Every structure is written in C-alpha cells, then in structure tokens.
C-alpha cells in the first residue's frame, strides 16, 4: 500500500490492551488520510450519546500519504474526536515533527479508546508500543513533560505530543502540544486526552514511507520546493512569520480590534512581524522538511523575562493584543508562552478573555466577578492572570475555561460572544472578507480558518487551475459562495493529505506528489471532489451529532457595520451567501444535510439510509 505504513495502532486504555489494524486501502482511496479518513472512520464509532469527555469518545491521531516523505511542508498530523468544546466534529492539526515521527515508528495513526486507571503515556519506538506510567508527569507543563520523557526514553530520537495542566483540568479548549511549542490548538483535543488520563505520546523510529513511483515523486518534490521558494507569500512568512501581515491587512479591517468593535487601531503595527524582528526575535524554526520556516524564536525581558521561547503567531498577537487594545509585544509573547506551557488554544483563550474585558467595561462583569481584577482596555497584565486562572480553573478562570459561549450564557449575553457552535472566531474579521463569514458559519468544526482561507484568495492568491478565482472581498454574491465552496473543498483535501496551508504550489504539483506517493493516478478534475467528499462526510457526522441548518449562523456583532472612513468594510450578507451556498452544497434547508443524490455522486451512498 504505497504512500502508507499500512496500519493503525489501537490502544484500549481501560484494559491496557494494544493491537493493530490494517488500513483499509479502499477507505484511503476514498478519503486520502488525515482528517478526511478520520471523519469516515469515527462516523461508525460516535453518536449523539457519546460523551466527549467520557471513555466512549474515541480519539484518533492520524497522518496522511505525504507525511514523513520528502515532500515539503507535509510534516503534520491531525487529531480528531467528538469535541468537548462544541459537541460536534473535533479536528485539529499541528506541525513540528510528530506526524513524520509517528510514521517512522511504524504506524499511520493511533486510535485511543477507554480511560486509563492512572495517568499514562504511550511510547512507540520502531514498531514496539507500550503504555507507561505517567503519574510523575501529571501536573507538569508541556515543556517539562517533553523533557522528562526525552530523558526517560534515551536511545531513540523522539517527538512527543502531550497535554499540560489545562488538558488535565478538562479546559474545553485545551490543546495538544508537540515539539515544544507546536500546537493542535482547536476544539479541545487536549481535554479529550486529559479525560482519558493520557498525558503524552512519544514516537520515533527508522521506518520509511513506501513510494509508488520514487523517481516521479522526487521530481515533484524538487518542483514543489522551487515553487514554494518562489511564492511571495512564503517569502513574507520566512521574513516575518505569520504576524508579517499585521500592518498591511489592518488597513482592510482584517485584524479584529477591541473585541470586534473597531475597524482600525494603528498601534497594532507594534505587534507585527517587522517589529518582532527589530526587538525580541532571536531565530526561526521550521517544521519537518519545511523550506519556509515561519516559526519564530524570541527572548523577552522586563517583568516576564524568559530565555528563548517560541514566538507568538499572528492569531496570538491579535487574540492577546488588538482584541484588548494592547500593543505590548513582549506581553503577547509571554501570553503565547503561557498558553503553550499550559496547553491552551491561544485563539479561544484570548478571545474569551477579550469578551470578559468587554463585559467588564460595559458594567456586566464587576470587580466582584473578577476577584478584584481590573480588566481595563490596553492592559495585558489581567489577561495573563486570567490565563493562569483558566489553566488551573481558579476564580473567574473556571467559567472562562468553558469558553465565550458559556461566559455569555452566564450573563445573559450569549449573542455577543464571538463564536460559531462554541468555537471562537479566528482573527480574520468577516467584515473585511465576506467569504470568511461563510467559511466560519459552515465549517465542520465551528468557526475555522483552516477549512477555507478566503482572505488569502481575495487578497490575490487564487488557484486558477481549480477555477478558484480572485473576487471582490466585500461582495456577497452567488459567485462568492461558489468560490468559497471550492476553497473549502481544496483546504479539506489539504487536511486529508496532511499538508500545511502555507504550501501553495500549483494544484498539478500537489497532484504529482499524491500520485507519485500512492500510485493512484488521479486526474486534476478529481481533486476538488476528493475534498468535497471529506467535507460532506464531516457534515454527515455533525448531522449525526445533532447539527441542523439552524447551526449555520454568525454571531450578531460581526453582522453589524464597522464605522471608520479610513477602512472599507462590509458585513457579509448571509441572506445571499447562505442560500447560494446551500444550493451549491445540495443541502436541505431545514436539516442542513446533503441530498441522497449528492451523497451518491460522491460515493457516499452507503450512508444515505443513516
Ligand atoms: S510554513 Fe510554518 S507552519 Fe507551515 S510547515 Fe513551515 S514552519 Fe510549519
């Protein structure tokens, strides 16, 4: 089975039994791997009665056919389960080396079921898997945990994915952290690990991914590396990291300010990649076989002085910066570091804290609620305190650990929380790119930018080979809905491959990589349908978990206009976008589910009766 190691490791944490299962080549052909395969595989194992934090919730770590090969920017993995944050499909991915090292250990993926009686970690070294005691690791942060396991398992070069105290405490948006500061942040997969008493997974070995056509694959790899190096977006990321665009896209209203209430806040430029390079930057980091290296290494001084730490990403400088009107770059770097150590999603943590700031400044939250903390706009210190409280579920942090929807619910303002289905919006305001509104409203995991980066397309990065064309970023139209659906299918395929979304060679090169690795001999016309199959699969699974058309809604505040003559913005017109999108997807207007005809077209006819 070229392109795959050919087997999954099955770990029953309740009994401690380890076993193996051969990968189903038919399923891989249909769903490619990664999150697409995971959705089909978990569809048979999850239903509406599955408690996301119960032993019955299966947790799948999965790679794809390009992971661990010489293909650039394919060193990623997906982790999937029913999400404790949303109650729906949970999916998160991360870079670093963990995905490739899992394959080198001999497996394409690991399925965890049940719950260990005591804190436990899994080690897989060269095909040999064992469960080990993790009682001494419980309570340690993610960096300490990785260091301790590295010291324990000397002899094999390892990559470790683990949780911190946030996952142990079942914070709803607890992350899985690997390779020091790389995070599978979204949808609370760290809490699922914590609910299973699973502290970490350490993987390594000498395995190699078999390739169908090594020569063709190698030629595609070289051509892809050249294409990525020539891509201006990639060059920006190399030079300035993910925060490199802060001071340009702010002029479009892309970066949200003051909890989504201001179009423009110029001090945000002090949080960008340029300022970072001039102040706290000490180096760069790259995931496995990445020629971009968007990761930043920083050192901060002053009151939170640290040695070298992972630098803040774009999402973090917005969530802990502009959302609370703080231009304190060292403070946001420290917030990022805290989240990584505790194992927290910086988007959900920062956004929930910013919502608390807003409620405090409107007099809805009082000093009694905050334990005396003054949540003044512009002051990051209380946000850092709240981050610690969230991780340890102390004080107000215990409520914030449930997310912004729960915070809004408690104070009767749920409609002001910036979330879709419980997942906080990433830091691209849909009033700057209306296509993002449609992406957020309909993404399988709640408000998600990885399932469709329309901001990038409408900034000038179309995919003409797949007829994904540049459009007017503020125009709500049938055409926008069509382009959005195509981008979502394309990025869904990326999450199956599993490939970094910053890797943007031509679609034909992606095809050459996939065919060279697997020997599937697919044509270009089959790429988007492959993505759509996985996308509709996730939709069906969400339907099984209770999602209907009523879930496809944006939060009220981002449907209000932003008034600032210096910045042109426009709320997405969902009365145009959503019906058009439903027609394109062939979704029922009430159930929100795809028609039997569309399912059959996509080869999902076996699920029609469900
Ligand atoms: S571009 Fe950044 S996130 Fe993507 S693979 Fe490279 S280092 Fe990792």
CATH number of the domain where residue 587 is located: 1.10.599.10
Contact indicator for 333, 298 with CB cutoff of 8 Å: yes
Contact indicator for 533, 603 with CB cutoff of 8 Å: yes
**CATH number reported for the structural domain that contains residue 40 in this entry:** 3.60.9.10
Residue 422 lies in a domain: no
Q: What is the DSSP letter of 594?
A: B
Q: Give mean pLDDT, residues 459-476.
A: 96
SS3 124: strand
How do strand 109-113 and strand 7-12 relate by DSSP bridges? parallel
Query: Going by C-beta distance under 8 Å and a sequence separation of 6 or more, which residues neighbour residue 73?
Result: 228, 287, 289, 290, 291, 292, 499, 500, 502, 503
Do both 62 and 138 map to the same domain? yes
Do both 593 and 468 map to the same domain? yes
Do both 407 and 467 map to the same domain? no
Q: Find out whether the beta carbon of 502 lies less than 6 Å from any atom of ligand 1.
A: yes
CA pair distance 518, 148, nearest whole angstrom: 38
Average pLDDT of the chain is 97
Question: How far does the centroid of ligand 1 lie from the alpha carbon of residue 111, in Å?
Answer: 26
pLDDT in tens, 427-457: 999 999 999 999 999 999 999 998 899 999 9
Do both 493 and 602 map to the same domain? yes
Sign (positive or negative) of CA dihedral 171, 177, 181, 185: negative
Question: How far does the centroid of ligand 1 lie from the alpha carbon of residue 397, in Å?
Answer: 32
- Nearest CA owner, ligand 1 atom 8: 287
- Sheet strands (E) in 499-542: none
Query: Percent of the chain having pLDDT more than 90?
Result: 97
Q: Can you tell me which residue has the tokens 């990559």? A: 159
Residue 156 pLDDT grade (very low, low, confident, very high; cuts 50, 70, 90):
confident
Do both 407 and 523 map to the same domain? no
Question: How far does the centroid of ligand 1 lie from the alpha carbon of residue 499, in Å?
Answer: 9
Residue 7 pLDDT grade (very low, low, confident, very high; cuts 50, 70, 90):
very high
Residue 218 lies in a domain: no
Do both 490 and 547 map to the same domain? yes
Residue 426 lies in a domain: no
pLDDT in tens, 503-545: 899 999 999 999 999 999 999 999 999 999 999 999 999 999 9
* pLDDT at residue 247, as a whole number: 87
Q: Can you tell me which residue has the tokens 């595989």? A: 41
Do both 151 and 274 map to the same domain? no
| Alpha-carbon 610 to chain mean position | 29
Q: What is the DSSP letter of 524?
A: G
- Strand partners of residue 60: 80, 111
Residue 419 lies in a domain: no
Residue 424 lies in a domain: no
Domain that holds residue 101: 7-204
The preferred substitution site among 182, 237, 244 for testing ligand 1, maximizing ligand atoms within 8 Å of CB, is 237
* Integer CA distances (angstroms), 160 to 7, 124, 508, in order: 20, 10, 34
Do both 444 and 587 map to the same domain? yes
Q: How many domains does the chain have?
A: 3
Residue 273 lies in a domain: yes
Q: Find out whether the beta carbon of 252 lies less than 6 Å from any atom of ligand 1.
A: no
- Nearest CA owner, ligand 1 atom 4: 500
* Integer CA distances (angstroms), 259 to 324, 357, 424, 437, 576, in order: 7, 8, 12, 17, 26
Do both 194 and 245 map to the same domain? no
**CATH number reported for the structural domain that contains residue 257 in this entry:** 1.10.569.10
Residue 610 pLDDT grade (very low, low, confident, very high; cuts 50, 70, 90):
low
pLDDT in tens, 470-481: 999 999 999 999
CA pair distance 215, 29, nearest whole angstrom: 22
CA pair distance 610, 540, nearest whole angstrom: 9
* Phi/psi at 598 (5° precision): -65, -40
Residue 497 lies in a domain: yes
Do both 134 and 87 map to the same domain? yes
Q: Find out whether the beta carbon of 500 lies less than 6 Å from any atom of ligand 1.
A: yes
Do both 247 and 386 map to the same domain? yes
Do both 448 and 582 map to the same domain? yes
């Amino acid at each position: 089975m070229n392109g795959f190691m050919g087997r999954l490791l099955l770990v029953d944490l309740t009994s401690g039994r380890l076993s193996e299962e051969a990968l189903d080549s038919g399923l891989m052909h249909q769903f490619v791997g990664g999150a697409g395969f995971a959705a089909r595989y978990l569809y048979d194992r999850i239903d509406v009665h599955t408690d996301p934090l119960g032993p019955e919730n299966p947790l799948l770590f999965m790679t794809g056919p390009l992971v661990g090969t010489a293909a650039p920017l394919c060193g990623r993995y997906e982790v999937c389960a029913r999400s404790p944050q949303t109650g729906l499909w949970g999916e998160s991915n991360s870079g670093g080396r963990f995905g490739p090292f899992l394959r080198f250990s001999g497996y394409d993926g690991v399925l965890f079921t049940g719950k260990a009686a005591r804190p436990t970690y899994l080690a897989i070294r060269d095909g040999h898997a064992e469960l080990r005691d993790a009682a001494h690791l419980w309570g340690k942060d993610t960096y300490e945990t990785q260091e301790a396991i590295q010291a324990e398992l000397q002899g094999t070069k390892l990559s470790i994915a683990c949780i911190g105290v946030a996952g142990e405490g079942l914070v709803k948006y607890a992350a899985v952290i690997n390779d020091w500061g790389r995070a599978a942040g979204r949808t609370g997969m760290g809490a699922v690990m914590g609910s299973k008493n699973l502290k970490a997974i350490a993987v390594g070995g000498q395995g190699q991914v078999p390739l169908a056509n090594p020569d063709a694959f190698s030629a595609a790899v070289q051509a892809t590396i050249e294409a990525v190096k020539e891509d201006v977006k990639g060059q920006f990321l190399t030079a300035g990291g993910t925060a490199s665009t802060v001071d340009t896209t702010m002029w479009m209203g892309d970066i949200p300010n003051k909890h989504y209430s201001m179009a423009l806040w110029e001090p945000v430029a002090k949080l960008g990649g340029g300022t970072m390079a001039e102040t706290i930057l000490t180096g760069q980091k790259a995931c496995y076989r990445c020629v971009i290296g968007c990761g930043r290494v920083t050192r901060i001084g002053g009151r939170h002085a640290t040695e070298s730490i992972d630098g803040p990403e774009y999402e973090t400088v917005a969530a802990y910066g502009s959302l609370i009107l703080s231009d304190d770059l060292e403070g946001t770097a420290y917030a990022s570091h805290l989240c990584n150590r505790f194992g927290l999603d910086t988007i959900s943590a920062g956004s929930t804290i910013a919502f608390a700031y807003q409620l405090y400044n409107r007099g809805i939250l009082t000093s009694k609620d905050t334990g005396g903390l003054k949540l003044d706009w512009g002051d990051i210190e209380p946000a850092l305190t709240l981050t610690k409280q969230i991780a340890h579920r102390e004080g107000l942090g215990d409520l914030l650990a449930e997310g912004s929807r729960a915070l809004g619910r408690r104070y009767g303002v749920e409609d002001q929380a910036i979330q879709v289905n419980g997942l906080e919006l990433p830091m691209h305001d849909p009033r700057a790119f209306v296509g993002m509104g449609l992406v957020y409203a309909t993404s399988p995991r709640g408000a998600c930018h990885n399932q469709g980066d329309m901001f990038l397309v409408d900034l000038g990065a179309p995919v003409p080979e797949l007829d994904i064309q540049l459009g007017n970023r503020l125009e709500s139209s049938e055409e926008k809905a069509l382009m959005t659906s195509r981008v979502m299918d394309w990025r869904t395929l990326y999450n199956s491959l599993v490939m970094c979304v910053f890797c943007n060679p031509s679609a034909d090169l992606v095809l050459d990589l996939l065919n060279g690795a697997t020997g599937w001999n697919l044509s270009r016309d089959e790429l988007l349908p492959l993505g759509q199959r996985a996308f509709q699969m996730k939709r069906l699974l969400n339907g099984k978990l209770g999602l209907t058309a009523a879930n496809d809604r944006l939060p009220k505040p981002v449907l209000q206009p932003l008034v600032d003559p210096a910045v042109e913005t426009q709320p997405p017109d969902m009365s145009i976008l959503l019906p058009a999108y439903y027609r394109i997807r062939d979704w029922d207007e009430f159930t929100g589910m795809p028609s039997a005809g569309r399912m059959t077209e996509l080869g999902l006819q076996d699920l029609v009766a469900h």
